[in-house]
Amino acid sequence: MEEFPTPTLVIDANVVRQNIRRLADYAGEHGIGVRPHTKTHKSRRIAELQLDAGAVGLTIAKASEGEVITQPGDDMLLAYPPIGEVRAERLAKLAKDRIAHAAIDSELAIESTAAAARRAEAMVGLLVEIDIGMNRCGVATPQQALALAQKIDQTEGVRLDGIMCYPGHIWDARDQQGPALAAVSAKLAETIELWKKSGLEAKIVSSGSTPTAYQSHLVPELTEIRPGTYVYNDMNTVRGGYCELDDCAARIVCTVISNAVAGHVVVDAGSKTLTSDLSHPAKDSGHGHLVEYPGAKIVSLSEEHGRIDMSGCDRIPKVGDRVTIIPNHICPCVNLHDNAWWVEPNEPLQQLHTDARGLLV
């Protein structure tokens, strides 16, 4: 660990396996499928650990991620509307030897996916995305969801598979998510009932985020959940109260490169290593957590500099010392790194390649 160059991403294999196992156990207990969002790790190897632990399929954000993270025979969901000819065509090509689903919230997305699927002589299953309060994508009402479901049902090349939603707006403490999740449940139930009256079935009802993952049983309509961050965790998860520091599998090892300015040290991890993302549940907490100096605050980032206020610490590191940062938001952070170090106990370090890093479309 003292020999590799910094800054670099280091992944603790045991913590990854434990995070995967814990969610698989919870989901198994409640009869909910897990379809992990692979945007967090962008790695086939980690996806296989998730599949081996019983995941019902994989979630991707881009068709290109599907090409490198999923394999023939996999069940994959593009949790993103296949708008644009290239995106739809690459999805349709994947659908030839995968069970491929995609989420849509517009007629155009249905039409472009269906056209590409027909050209590819493939079949894409579609989930109608309904907005449950995030105000990002998804139709507003069960009636609008029904209209899209009917259009899918009548369109050649696509198959109506169900409903998708994303509770990305719910950051309440775990034991206070009840009312927000009850509202989600009510909207999903109303939509499912409306479809049923029209003779349409939602075989898949897919939701889920890391903050809400362990409260998924409060939404009995769900057949599956799609958390991503849970596999590594980060300071968003810690500061939201959804995990402990020890559950954070992915960390940045960096080096103190300057202590010339009084009260501060500067490390070689800046925004090109950590991203500029603040911690969602604690926006004034700085740019991550310095493991060896818990009283320190990473007050600002330049591209290759992290400036750390040490006034809350009774000792400070020297120039040349290595320190460890748990990032605020691990998903875009991983996307900055071509490779990570994969640490197995009592084994030499291995390289973990970020297979889908930086892919377009």
Interaction site with a second copy (CB under 8 A)? 4-8, 39, 61-62, 80-81, 83-84, 86-87, 105-106, 108-109, 112, 129, 131, 135-140, 144, 168, 255-262, 264, 266, 268, 271-272, 275-278, 302-305, 307, 318-320, 331-332, 335-338, 357-358, 360-361
- Is there a contact between 308 and 267 (Cβ–Cβ < 8 Å)? yes
Nearest approach, Cβ of residue 321 and a second copy (Å): 10
Q: How far is the CB of 127 from a second copy (least distance, A)?
A: 14
> Which residues, at least 6 apart from 284, have a Cβ–Cβ distance to it below 8 Å?
none
Residue closer to a second copy by CB (options 27, 298) is 298
Q: Which one, 108 or 182, has the nearer CB to a second copy?
A: 108
34 vs 336, beta carbon nearer a second copy? 336
Rama region for 164: left / alpha / beta (φ>0; ψ in -120 to 50; rest): beta
Nearer to a second copy, 176 or 258 (CB): 258
Q: How far is the CB of 88 from a second copy (least distance, A)?
A: 11
Residues 6+ apart with CB under 8 A from 3: none
- Kindly report the number of other CB atoms within 10 A of residue 121's CB atom: 10
19 vs 275 by CB, closer to a second copy: 275
- Least spacing, CB of residue 209 vs a second copy, in Å: 11
Within 13 A of 117's CA, how many CA atoms are on the CB side?
25
Chain-centre distance for alpha carbon 142: 26
d(CA 16, CA 249) in angstroms, rounded, equals: 6
Could you tell me if residue 201 is left (phi over 0), alpha (psi between -120 and 50 degrees) or otherwise beta?
beta
Provide the pairing of β-strand 224-225 with 33-34.
parallel
Specify the 3-state DSSP secondary structure of 339: strand
Distance between CA 171 and CA 283 in Å, rounded? Answer: 13
Q: Which amino acid is at 359?
A: L
Distance of closest approach, residue 359 Cβ to a second copy, in angstroms: 9
**What token pair was written down for 93?**
């090509």
- Quick one: 32 or 334, whose CB is closer to a second copy? 334
Shortest distance, CB of residue 25 to a second copy, whole angstroms? Answer: 28
User: Cα–chain-centroid distance for residue 266?
Assistant: 30
In the bound state with a second copy, the residue whose beta carbon lies nearer, of 138 and 162, is: 138
Min separation Cβ 83 and a second copy, Å:
4
DSSP states of 164-213:
E---TT--S-GGG-HHHHHHHHHHHHHHHHHHHHTT---SEEEE--TTTG
Q: How far is the CB of 131 from a second copy (least distance, A)?
A: 6
Nearer Cβ to a second copy (7/33)? 7
If the CB atoms of residues 186 and 319 are measured against a second copy, the closer one turns out to be 319
- Whether 333 and 319 have beta carbons less than 8 Å apart is answered as no
Q: Minimum distance between the CB of residue 217 and a second copy, rounded to whole angstroms?
A: 26
